Amino acid sequence: MGRRLHGRGALFETDPAGLAPRLVGLRPHQHRVTPYEHPREPPLVVLSGARGLGKTAVLAELRESYKGHTPVGLIDCEDPEFAAPPTGRPAEAWSPVSQALLVLAEQLAEQVTGAGRIQFPRLMSGLVAVAAGGWGDADSERIRREVQRILLLNESGSWVGGFAGRWAGRVAAKVVAAATGTGPLLSAAVEATLESLSEGFAGRRHQRASAWYRDYPNAGDNARRGLILLSGHFRAGGTSREHAERHLVRALRADLTDAYTGVLPRMKRLGRPLVLLDNAHTAPGPGLIEAVLRDRTEGVGDQVVFFAAVRGNGRPALRNATRRALPELARSSDWTPEPGSASSRALVVSLPPLSGDDTLHIVGADPTVPPQLPQAAHRLTGGNPLGITLVAEAAAQHPTEASSLGELLTADLRVHPEHDGRPAYLELLDRLVPPDRLDELTVLAAAHDHDSACALARALLPEHFGPADVRALGERLTTEGLPAVPGQFVGDPFVRTLLLLRLHHRDTDHGQWRKAHETLVDHYADPADEQVRYRLHHELALGSADSAVAYLRDSFTTLPAREWLAALRFVASAPYFHAHDADGRDHCGSEDRRTAVALGRTDAGHEPPEGADAALHLRVRRLLHAVWQLTDPLTLPDRTVGQRLRFELEQLSNLRPAGNALLWRASRDWPEDALAGREPHIPDEGEGEA
């Protein structure tokens, strides 16, 4: 496995062999064989999950591991070249699937160690027929350009020869002459292609290829008619086009199978060919995947290894697929397809977040970073590989800012040497959330449910963005693989933190930040409402802790200890950005005001309310600010504050005999959890609640 990846050994390891070597039949970066796990039919592997989990990095590593050793093709289905036909090409003679097949075949054709170029006569003939359907008013130069690129799929020389290939040039001239003549355009172009194919090659393999389209439905054992029918179905669109595209995908697989047929090719070619589809939830991905799965279900097999990456986990087309977490695949996939079920031919693999040790190796690779940074980075990102990688890069570029994750994320990050830098949190958001909904999500990240999200939308978003849009956006986040978490509109804590950071920095006076939290304070204004803790949470985000302290002080003796601890933890999870003072003005000081309160440095200047137990009031105030600081994902936990947290909870346990055991247990667990980058654990009833 390459140095760029961590936590993906179940895919790439050689001893024992990971999933990729077991399917491809070769060790990564080596020309050494390994036994096939599924010798008759490999599963179509689908890597699933939310953005930033490293699906693209895995596919890139697969390409680097096997390029030059076995045929490899990689496409990104979100690449603009698959979004629309090239200039001059009519839509009825082009599709994302046909373009993807051309691009994949060009890569798969490249020479590998010990074997020559793979030729694609079946696919070439089909793509010429498809392209010819759009030559009605084309000039000869455009026809030559289109057909010559396709014809090079059957070029047996080196790719360097390119468009100078003699056979391709000769056939292109014939096709152009036929297509611009006086006879039927499509028929003439197809005829010229088939004639040149049969005349130029005498081997049995090419003879089989030239006759392959005789079996096309209603072709009547006539290859020329089969290609004309395929072109017509393609131009018709809808299900007819899907039928034609399926035959083109089958042609690619048949050409690859032919390259491995016979004694001599088997001696030369080691390992299975590898097709990699990134962002395969968008066209042409679904069309390619469905065609392969349906053919394999109907007995039209192949030995091609497909790895596809899709966003999210609940794709309907994969409902019967075998599902495995990556660590389960270290030794065996335990995959068996069900007869008659196309989706069961797929193996869906969820990529897990990276571990704390992985984060340590990535972020802590630079010995100059603060020792707490790797753990804090893991807490912030939740193990998201993209987040960890960019935090490590930000620390390398800004070592003086590495004492605060908030400062690292707001510092300019240069991800490409030729581009200017911009804040790291913006770079991350561009890759972690739907770009067309970034502004809406920036506002709604402060919400807790549909109703509070609608309140924010009314206050801060355009009038046309109503409740239906809020609901649709929530469903989209779930579809893309972000977790649905009760009490949070944006369930992923890392993404939510980044969005709130953007909200805070959206304007110089932090006006939208204040308005968003003020809106939610009003939304939860009913003092009798059980959701009063949400109001306190947002008041604290605005810098006002008085109501939260009063609530926690007065409820200390009335709420069950476990419920009181849960309220403390939730209220103290309010986002905190110290870049502005109480009036919303930026200030230069970087001192965290919460630390001063937690350590009791402000006690002398703080007057408890009249009638309140002064000692309890100040203790709860210190405790709230200690938990607020220690659990903030954008700060490095302060050990001194952790010690104070332990002391305050221990002292509170003495004041609450009925909840002594739970509070005492929390006094031990919470500082340890916070300093280790974990969410504070609330003890169970069985851990001592009286």
* Residue at 190 is within a domain: no
Residues 6 or more apart whose Cβ sits within 8 Å of residue 549 = 617, 620, 621, 624
Domain boundary among 352, 369, 386: 352
- Specify whether 308 is located in the same domain as 389: no
Tokens coding 630: 């220690």
- Specify whether 415 is located in the same domain as 540: no
| Cα 681 from Cα 380, distance rounded (Å) | 17
pLDDT in tens, 347-362: 999 999 999 999 999 9
Domain boundary among 382, 398, 430: 430
- Specify whether 423 is located in the same domain as 560: no
The mean pLDDT value of the chain amounts to: 89
Q: What's the whole-model pTM score? A: 0.91
**Which stretches of 285-339 are assigned E, i.e. beta strand?**
305-311, 322-325
- Specify whether 641 is located in the same domain as 549: yes
Q: Reply yes or no on whether the pLDDT at 209 is more than 90.
A: no
Q: Reply yes or no on whether the pLDDT at 538 is more than 90.
A: yes
pLDDT in tens, 566-589: 999 999 999 998 644 544 454 445
* Percent of the residues in the chain that have a pLDDT greater than 70, as a whole number: 91
| Three-state secondary-structure class, residue 73 | strand
* Residue at 75 is within a domain: no
Residues 6 or more apart whose Cβ sits within 8 Å of residue 528 = none
Question: Confidence class of residue 381 from pLDDT cuts 50, 70 and 90?
Answer: very high
Q: What is the number of structural domains in the chain? A: 3
Q: What is the pLDDT of residue 584?
A: 43
Burial 541-578 (b: 16+ CB within 10 A, else e): bbbebeebbbbbbeebeebebbebbebbbebbbbbbbb
| Cα 315 from Cα 282, distance rounded (Å) | 12
Tokens coding 186: 């499509």
Q: What is the pLDDT of residue 269?
A: 83
pLDDT in tens, 54-87: 999 999 999 999 999 999 999 999 999 999 999 8
pLDDT: which is higher, 114 or 36 = 36
- Specify whether 665 is located in the same domain as 533: yes
520-548 average pLDDT score: 92
pLDDT in tens, 610-638: 999 999 999 999 999 999 999 999 999 89
545-568 average pLDDT score: 95
- Specify whether 420 is located in the same domain as 393: yes
pLDDT in tens, 389-413: 999 999 999 999 999 999 999 999 9
Domain harbouring 291, CATH code? 3.40.50
Q: What is the pLDDT of residue 182?
A: 56
Q: What is the pLDDT of residue 416?
A: 82
| Cα 674 from Cα 670, distance rounded (Å) | 6
Q: What is the pLDDT of residue 135?
A: 85
Burial 293-325 (b: 16+ CB within 10 A, else e): bbbbbeeeebbbbbbbbbbbbebebbeebbebe
Q: Reply yes or no on whether the pLDDT at 265 is more than 60.
A: no
Please state which of the ranges 12-26, 382-396, 474-488, 584-598 shows the lowest mean pLDDT. Answer: 584-598
* Residue at 669 is within a domain: yes
Q: What is the pLDDT of residue 116?
A: 82
| Three-state secondary-structure class, residue 380 | helix
- Specify whether 552 is located in the same domain as 414: no
Q: Reply yes or no on whether the pLDDT at 489 is more than 50.
A: yes
- Specify whether 682 is located in the same domain as 543: yes
Question: Confidence class of residue 2 from pLDDT cuts 50, 70 and 90?
Answer: very low
* Cβ(376)–Cβ(676) below 8 Å: no
Q: Reply yes or no on whether the pLDDT at 268 is more than 80.
A: no
- Specify whether 344 is located in the same domain as 380: no
pLDDT in tens, 78-124: 999 999 999 889 999 999 999 999 999 999 999 898 888 899 999 99
- Specify whether 389 is located in the same domain as 278: no
Q: What is the pLDDT of residue 509?
A: 85
Question: Confidence class of residue 683 from pLDDT cuts 50, 70 and 90?
Answer: confident
* Residue at 179 is within a domain: no
* Residue at 469 is within a domain: no
477-501 average pLDDT score: 96
Please state which of the ranges 144-158, 244-258, 299-313, 427-441 shows the lowest mean pLDDT. Answer: 144-158
* Residue at 123 is within a domain: no
Q: What is the pLDDT of residue 242?
A: 97
Q: Reply yes or no on whether the pLDDT at 653 is more than 90.
A: yes
* Residue at 689 is within a domain: yes
pLDDT: which is higher, 192 or 449 = 449
Residue 648: domain span: 526-690
* Residue at 412 is within a domain: yes
- What is the 8-class DSSP label of residue 354? P
Q: How far is CA 647 from the centre of its chain?
A: 43
523-545 average pLDDT score: 91
Selection from 678, 606, 44 nearest residue 306 by Cα: 44
Phi, psi of 113 (to 5 degrees): -55, 125
- Specify whether 308 is located in the same domain as 404: no
Domain boundary among 298, 329, 352: 352
- Specify whether 403 is located in the same domain as 550: no
pLDDT in tens, 428-445: 999 999 999 999 999 999
